C-alpha cells in the first residue's frame, strides 16, 4: 500500500491542454473518486498515475517515490479497464495469473492467490472458462480479480461499471465498497456517474475542463458545493437555479426573484451575504428543499403552477414554474397536486445557496 | 418472395461457381484418368497411368521402373512453398504490426504501398528481379562499385532467387490478413499487459502473437496455395533449370503434350492445398472452443 501525490500535474496533447496543474494528495488506504463529465481530464489523470500516459508537467509520487520516469510495469499499480481488457485466448485462471506468471511467482502461490481471490469474487466455478463464455458482470469481476491477485500498492479503476446494466451496476458498486472495507488498498476510481462517486468515495474529486473544481467527502460536496458546476453536477435531480437580486429588508436580507417574489434569507446568513446586497446573483435550492407546505424554521411559502407530476413511489417529483423559471420539487407522495393546478410549496431557505454568476463560485 | 423463388436469387452466383470452378475442377480430375493424345488433348481408354508416372517410368518393354524425379519435383515444390510461407510470416508480421501502430492517415498510405505491386503485371515485376540479380545487374554492380566483390556473385538461377521471387510476389497476401486481425485488437489489451508487468517482448509473445494467429493462418494459406503452383518465378528466376510443379504442369499442356499427367499433377496440388485448408479450419475450430 502507498499514498499517491500529484503536484502541479498537467497533460497536453499536441497544443491541447487537457489537464491543468492538478494538485491532489491521496492518503494510504483512501478511496478517492475522480468524477466529472466526459472530456474533463479524469481518465487522463488516472492514466498518468498508471504510467500509460506521461505527464507534460508536474510530479507524480507513489509511496513517496517520484514515478514520472517509471514505466507502468514497474509502478506496482493495478488498473481495471472500462472494457475489462481480458485476454480472449486465455481462461479466467490464466487471465488472473498473467501478471504473476510474468513476475515469476511460484506456481503454488499463484494457484493459492487465485483460489483466494476467486473465492472472494465468487469466480471459483468459472476459472476454466474463456472470457467470451462469461456475462458482463462476470467479466468485470475477472478484471477486478486480475488486479486483486497482484496485491498492488494502488488500485486504479477506469469507469469499471459503465458497461453493466443498471441493476448489476448497483450490485457491483456495493461489492467494490465491501472489498475496499475488507482490504483497504489505496484506490483511485474514475467515473462520470455522480451517484457512484458519492456512494463509493472517502473523498470525491470533482473535475471540469481539466481542472479540479472541488475536493471533499461526499456529504460536504453535496451540502456545501464550492461552485455552480459542483452544485449542478452532484445530486439528482440537479439543483434548481434562479436569477435573483439580493436586497435589504429592514435588518434582514431577502432574495428577490425575477417576478418580484421576495424570499426572506435566514438571519444566520445575514453576515455572510451582507457584502453582496444590491447585486444580481443566482439563487440555488435543491429539489428536496422545495416541498409541499411544511412547518419548519426559515421556510418561505410560495405559489407555483404545476407542469408535470412524476410519482416515484417513495416521493413525487413536481416540475413547477417559480418566478417563470422551471424548477423541480420533491414532495410527499401523499399530497397530490395535478398538472395545471397552482400548488403552494415551502422553500427551505436554511439550505439556500447564493452564487456569483460571473465567477460561478458559491458565495 | 416464396421460398422456391429465393433460389432464383442465388442462381447467378451458383452458375458462375459452376462454370468457372466446379466444371474445370471436374475436367481436370476427369482428364487425369484418360490417355494422352500425342497431338494434345486426351483419348480413351481410362487409366491410372498419369498417377503411376509420379513414381514410375514405363520402360521400352512396357515394364514399370521406379523413378523418383517427379516425386522430387513435388517435394521440392512443397518445401519451397513452406519456406516461402515461413519467410513471408517472419517479414509480414512485424510489417503489419508496424502499420497498425501508425496514425490512421499513415496507415492508409502504408497499406496502399503494400498493395502497390498489384498494380503492375507480375511478369514485368519478376523480370525486374532478373535485371537486379543478373551478373551485370544492379545488385552485383552496386557490390562491385562498393569494392566488396570483384567477380559477380551467382545471385540468379538458384533456389535462393526462386525463393526471393516467391516471397516478393506473395508477401502482401501475408501482410494484409495479419493487419486486419491486429487492427481489431483493443489497445487496452496491450496497456493492460504493460500494467501487468509485461515487457515489450512479453507483450508481443503473449498477447500480440496469439491474437494475430488467426490472421497469420489465413495469410499462410493465401501464400502457400499460390506459391505451390506458381511457375513464373521458378521459370524466370530459376532459369527453368530446376523444375517445380507449376512449370511441370505448364510443360505437360504445352511442349510435352501430356494432358493427363498435367491434370494429375494439378489434382495433386489441389489435394495438397485442400488438405492444408481442412487441417487449418479444424485447428481454428478447436481454438475457438
CB atoms within 10 A of CB B71: 12
Written as one string, the DSSP assignment of A219-285 is: HHHHHS-SBHHHHHHSSSSPPEEEEEEEEEETTEEEEEETTS-EEEPPGGGHHHHGGGTT-EEEEEE
- Chain A residues with CB-CB distance to B287 below 8 A: 89
Q: Which residue in B188, B196, B199 is closest to A98 by CB distance? A: B196
Q: Which residue in A77, A81, A87 is closest to B207 by CB distance? A: A87
| Tens digits of residue pLDDT in B148-178 | 877 777 777 888 888 888 999 899 999 999 9
Residues 89-108 in A contacting B (C-alpha not used; CB under 8 Å): 89, 98-99, 102-103
Across chain A, mean pLDDT equals 89
* Helix ranges (DSSP H) in chain A: 42-50, 92-102, 107-121, 136-148, 166-182, 194-200, 218-223, 228-233, 270-273
Q: How many domains does chain B have?
A: 1
CA distance A354 to A101: 57
Which residue in chain A has the smallest CA separation from B202?
A: A102
CATH number at residue B143: 1.10.3720.10
- Chain A residues with CB-CB distance to B196 below 8 A: 73, 98-99, 102, 146, 150
Fold assignment, A240-355? OB fold (Dihydrolipoamide Acetyltransferase, E2P) (2.40.50)
**Is the residue at B61 inside a domain?**
no
CA distance A92 to A138: 10
Between A and B, how many CB-CB pairs are < 8 A?
Answer: 55
Q: pTM here?
A: 0.76
**Is the residue at B287 inside a domain?**
no
Which residue in chain B has the smallest CA separation from A156?
A: B195
Which phi and psi angles does A283 have, rounded to 5°?
-110, 125
Q: Could you tell me which residues come within 8 angstroms of residue A244 by beta carbon, excluding any fewer than 6 positions away? A: A255, A256, A257, A258, A280, A281, A282, A283, A354
* Distance (Å) from the alpha carbon of A53 to chain B's nearest alpha carbon: 10
> Which residues form the domain of B229?
68-256
Which residue in chain B has the smallest CA separation from A147?
A: B196
CA A322, distance to chain mean position in Å, is: 29
At B288 the pLDDT is: 62
| Tens digits of residue pLDDT in A286-331 | 999 999 888 777 888 888 899 999 998 899 999 999 988 899 999 9
CA A127, distance to chain mean position in Å, is: 33
Q: Could you tell me which residues come within 8 angstroms of residue A173 by beta carbon, excluding any fewer than 6 positions away? A: A161, A196, A199, A200
Structure letter (DSSP) for residue A77: E
Helices (H) and strands (E) in chain B, counts: 14, 4
> What residues form DSSP beta bridges with B42?
B36
CA A251, distance to chain mean position in Å, is: 40
* Residue A96 binned pLDDT confidence (cut-offs 50, 70, 90): very high
Residues 308-347 in A contacting B (C-alpha not used; CB under 8 Å): none
Residue A75 pLDDT exceeds 60: yes
Best CA proximity match to A151, nearest among A197, A103, A107, A199: A103
Which residue in chain B has the smallest CA separation from A53?
A: B191
Q: Per-10-residue mean pLDDT for chain B, 289 residues long?
A: 75 92 90 82 78 78 79 88 94 92 91 88 85 82 81 79 89 93 88 86 88 89 88 78 82 85 88 85 74
At A285 the pLDDT is: 92
A196 with A173: CB under 8 angstroms?
yes
CA angle, corner A52, sides to A48 and A55, nearest 5? 35
* Distance (Å) from the alpha carbon of A301 to chain B's nearest alpha carbon: 55
Q: Name the pairing type of β-strands A154-158 and A77-80.
A: parallel
CA distance B77 to B89: 18
- Chain A residues with CB-CB distance to B210 below 8 A: 87, 89
Q: Using DSSP, state whether A37 is helix, strand or coil.
A: coil
Could you tell me the CA-to-CA distances from A78 to A157, A158, A183, A308, B18 in Å, in that order? 8, 11, 14, 47, 58
Best CA proximity match to B153, nearest among B133, B130, B169: B133
Who has greater pLDDT, B49 or A110? A110
Name all contacts of B272-277 with Cβ < 8 Å and 24+ positions apart. Answer: B272/B78, B272/B228, B273/B221, B273/B224, B273/B225, B273/B228, B276/B221, B276/B224, B276/B225, B277/B221
CA distance A362 to A224: 9
| Tens digits of residue pLDDT in A205-260 | 999 988 899 999 999 999 999 999 999 889 888 899 999 989 888 888 888 888 88
Q: Do B192 and A78 touch (CB under 8 A)?
A: no
B202 with B193: CB under 8 angstroms?
yes
> What residues form DSSP beta bridges with B143?
none
CA distance A74 to A326: 53
CB atoms within 10 A of CB B151: 8
CA A200, distance to chain mean position in Å, is: 8
> What residues form DSSP beta bridges with A308?
A319
At B88 the pLDDT is: 95
CA angle, corner B131, sides to B128 and B136, nearest 5? 170
**Is the residue at B62 inside a domain?**
no
- Domains of chain A, by residue range, sit at 4-233, 240-355
**Quick one: average pLDDT of A133-161?**
89
Best CA proximity match to B243, nearest among B81, B93, B74, B128: B74
**Is the residue at B153 inside a domain?**
yes
| Tens digits of residue pLDDT in A32-62 | 999 988 888 889 999 999 988 888 988 999 9
Q: Do A150 and B196 touch (CB under 8 A)?
A: yes
> What residues form DSSP beta bridges with A39?
none
| Tens digits of residue pLDDT in A134-147 | 988 889 889 988 98
Query: Which of the residues A78, A102, A110, A132 would you substitute to probe the B interface, choosing the one with the greatest number of B C-beta atoms within 10 Å?
Result: A102
Best CA proximity match to B55, nearest among B66, B45, B43, B63: B66
CA distance A138 to A136: 5
With a pLDDT cut of 70, the percent of chain A lying above it is: 100
Structure letter (DSSP) for residue B45: P
**Is the residue at B107 inside a domain?**
yes
Q: Which residue in B186, B188, B194 is closest to A73 by CB distance? A: B194
Architecture of domain A4-233: 3-Layer(aba) Sandwich (3.40)
Which residue in chain A has the smallest CA separation from B213?
A: A89
- Chain A residues with CB-CB distance to B188 below 8 A: 81-83, 85
Give yes or no for A273 touching B (CB within 8 A).
Answer: no
Best CA proximity match to A160, nearest among B121, B198, A171: A171
CA distance A353 to A228: 10
> What residues form DSSP beta bridges with A281?
A244
Rg of chain A (C-alpha set): 25
Structure letter (DSSP) for residue B205: I
> What residues form DSSP beta bridges with A78?
A155
Residue A358 pLDDT exceeds 90: no
Query: Which of the residues B197, B198, B209 would you substitute to probe the A interface, choosing the one with the greatest number of A C-beta atoms within 10 Å?
Result: B197
**Is the residue at B81 inside a domain?**
yes
**Is the residue at B94 inside a domain?**
yes
B234 with B64: CB under 8 angstroms?
no
Q: Do B195 and A52 touch (CB under 8 A)?
A: yes
Reported as type and span, the H/E element at residue A24 is strand A16-26
Give yes or no for A163 touching B (CB within 8 A).
Answer: no
Three cell numbers written together for A279: 447585486
Query: Which of the residues B192, B194, B201, B289 would you substitute to probe the A interface, choosing the one with the greatest number of A C-beta atoms within 10 Å?
Result: B192
* Distance (Å) from the alpha carbon of A300 to chain B's nearest alpha carbon: 54
At A203 the pLDDT is: 93
> What residues form DSSP beta bridges with A345?
A292, A302
What count of Cα atoms within 13 Å lies in the side-chain half-sphere of residue B138? Answer: 6
Amino acid at each position: 500500500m502507498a499514498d499517491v501525490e500529484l503536484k502541479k500535474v498537467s497533460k497536453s496533447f499536441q497544443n491541447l491542454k487537457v489537464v491543468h496543474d492538478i494538485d491532489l494528495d491521496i492518503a494510504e488506504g483512501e478511496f478517492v473518486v475522480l468524477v466529472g463529465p466526459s472530456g474533463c481530464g479524469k481518465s487522463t489523470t488516472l492514466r498518468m498515475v498508471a504510467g500509460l500516459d506521461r505527464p507534460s508537467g508536474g510530479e507524480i509520487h507513489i509511496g513517496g517515490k517520484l514515478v514520472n520516469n517509471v514505466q507502468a510495469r514497474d509502478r506496482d499499480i493495478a488498473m481495471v479497464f472500462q472494457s475489462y481488457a481480458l485476454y480472449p485466448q486465455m481462461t479466467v485462471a490464466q487471465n488472473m495469473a498473467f501478471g504473476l506468471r510474468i513476475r515469476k511467482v511460484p506456481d503454488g502461490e499463484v494457484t493459492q492467490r487465485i483460489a483466494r481471490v476467486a473465492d472472494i469474487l465468487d469466480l471459483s466455478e468459472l476459472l476454466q472458462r474463456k472470457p467470451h463464455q462469461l456475462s458482463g458482470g462476470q467479466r468485470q469481476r475477472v478484471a477486478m480479480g486480475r488486479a486483486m491477485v497482484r496485491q498492488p500498492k494502488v488500485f486504479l479503476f477506469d469507469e469499471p461499471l459503465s458497461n453493466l446494466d443498471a441493476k448489476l451496476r448497483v450490485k457491483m458498486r456495493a461489492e467494490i465498497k465491501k472489498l475496499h472495507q475488507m482490504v483497504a488498498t489505496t484506490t483511485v476510481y474514475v467515473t462520470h456517474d455522480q451517484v457512484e462517486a458519492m456512494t463509493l468515495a472517502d473523498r470525491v474529486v470533482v473535475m471540469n475542463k481539466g481542472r479540479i473544481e472541488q475536493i471533499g467527502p461526499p456529504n460536504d460536496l453535496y451540502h456545501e458545493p464550492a461552485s455552480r458546476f459542483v452544485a449542478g453536477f452532484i445530486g439528482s435531480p440537479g439543483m434548481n437555479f434562479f436569477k435573483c437580486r439580493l436586497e435589504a429588508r429592514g435588518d434582514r436580507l431577502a432574495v428577490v426573484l425575477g417576478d418580484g417574489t421576495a424570499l426572506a434569507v435566514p438571519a444566520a446568513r445575514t453576515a455572510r451575504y451582507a457584502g453582496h446586497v444590491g447585486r444580481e446573483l443566482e439563487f440555488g435550492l435543491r429539489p428536496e428543499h422545495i416541498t409541499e407546505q411544511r412547518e419548519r424554521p426559515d421556510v418561505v411559502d410560495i405559489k407555483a403552477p404545476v407542469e408535470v407530476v412524476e410519482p416515484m413511489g417513495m416521493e413525487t417529483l413536481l416540475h413547477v414554474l417559480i418566478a417563470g423559471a422551471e424548477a423541480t420539487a420533491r414532495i410527499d407522495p401523499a399530497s397530490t397536486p395535478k398538472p395545471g393546478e397552482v400548488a403552494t410549496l415551502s422553500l427551505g431557505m436554511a439550505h439556500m445557496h447564493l452564487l456569483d454568476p460571473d465567477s460561478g463560485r458559491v458565495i | 418472395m416464396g421460398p422456391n423463388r429465393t433460389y432464383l436469387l442465388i442462381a447467378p452466383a451458383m452458375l458462375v461457381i459452376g462454370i468457372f470452378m466446379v466444371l474445370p475442377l471436374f475436367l481436370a480430375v476427369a482428364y487425369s484418368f484418360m490417355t494422352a493424345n500425342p497431338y494434345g488433348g486426351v483419348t480413351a481408354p481410362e487409366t491410372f497411368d498419369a498417377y503411376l508416372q509420379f513414381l514410375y517410368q514405363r520402360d521400352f518393354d512396357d515394364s514399370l521402373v521406379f523413378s523418383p524425379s517427379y516425386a522430387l519435383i513435388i517435394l521440392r515444390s512443397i518445401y519451397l512453398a513452406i519456406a516461402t510461407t515461413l519467410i513471408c510470416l517472419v517479414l509480414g508480421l512485424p510489417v503489419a504490426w508496424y502499420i497498425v501502430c501508425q496514425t490512421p492517415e499513415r496507415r492508409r498510405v502504408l497499406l496502399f504501398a503494400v498493395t502497390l505491386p498489384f498494380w503492375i503485371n507480375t511478369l514485368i515485376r519478376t523480370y525486374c528481379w532478373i535485371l537486379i540479380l543478373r551478373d551485370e545487374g544492379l545488385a552485383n554492380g552496386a557490390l562491385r562499385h562498393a569494392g566488396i566483390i570483384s567477380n559477380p556473385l551467382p545471385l540468379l538461377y538458384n533456389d535462393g532467387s526462386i525463393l526471393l521471387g516467391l516471397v516478393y510476389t506473395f508477401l502482401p497476401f501475408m501482410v494484409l490478413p495479419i493487419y486486419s486481425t491486429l487492427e481489431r485488437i483493443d489497445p487496452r489489451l496491450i496497456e493492460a499487459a504493460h500494467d501487468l508487468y509485461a515487457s515489450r517482448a512479453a507483450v508481443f509473445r503473449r498477447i500480440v502473437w496469439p491474437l494475430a494467429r488467426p490472421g497469420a493462418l489465413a495469410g499462410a494459406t493465401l501464400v502457400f496455395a499460390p506459391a505451390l503452383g506458381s511457375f513464373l518465378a521458378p521459370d524466370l528466376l530459376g532459369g527453368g533449370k530446376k523444375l517445380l510443379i507449376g512449370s511441370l504442369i505448364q510443360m505437360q499442356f504445352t511442349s510435352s503434350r501430356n494432358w493427363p499427367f498435367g491434370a494429375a499433377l494439378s489434382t495433386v496440388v489441389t489435394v495438397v492445398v485442400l488438405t492444408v485448408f481442412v487441417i487449418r479450419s479444424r485447428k481454428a475450430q478447436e481454438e475457438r472452443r
